Amino acid sequence: MKKILVFGTVMLMTIGAFAQGAAVSGFFNKYQNDESFSQVTISSKMFGLFTNMELEDKEDQDVLNAISKLRGLKVLAKDDTRDSRELYNEANKMLPKNEYEELMYVRDKDKDMRFFIKENGGKINELVMISGGSNSFMLMSIFGEIDLKQISKIGRKMDVDGLKDLERLKDSKKENKN
């Protein structure tokens, strides 16, 4: 009987791991063959290749340590499009509100950005960014063990606009404490 319980528990955990990000994956699958979208997928193996580098700078080493805990990154983007607002709204609606918590909302001139996290056991295991403007759209999902402070540093080092906006989260937390 114990073996059946252990096996059942392991199966449920495995199914949970595969179901992670199912809503985001569904959106990616819907548009993956549409050539008007740019798509980037980075696997855990690619992140693992970065972590084998030796760096002298402590901040760069911290960034590499954060990267080593990531299991993947997916980006779906569309530029120079008239349907960016519709895509933005569709992407926002596809996230199950009972699984994803909105972390931050940014409105900047003609662009809206929303950041969502999915937690399990008090640890962030997925970060989703949805961005839509007057003529561009982007959906990004980062999954693995996520430290938002380190992800922000990665965004700054790699010059990724949306990830750099996570700095605003840190700034708003400081303002709320004062």
pLDDT in tens, 46-85: 877 776 777 777 777 777 777 778 888 899 999 998 899 9
Q: What is the mean pLDDT of the chain?
A: 76
Q: Is 130 exposed, middle or buried (0-12, 13-18, 19+ CB in 10 A)?
A: buried
Q: Which residues of 89-128 are buried (b: 16+ CB within 10 A; e: fewer)?
A: ebbbebbeeebbeebbebeeeebbbbbbbbeeeeebbbbb
Q: The pTM is what?
A: 0.73
**47 or 139: whose pLDDT is higher?**
139
- Which of 18-27, 50-59, 89-98 has the lowest average pLDDT? 18-27
pLDDT at 162 over 80: no
Contact between residue 31 and residue 84 where contact means Cβ atoms under 8 Å apart? no
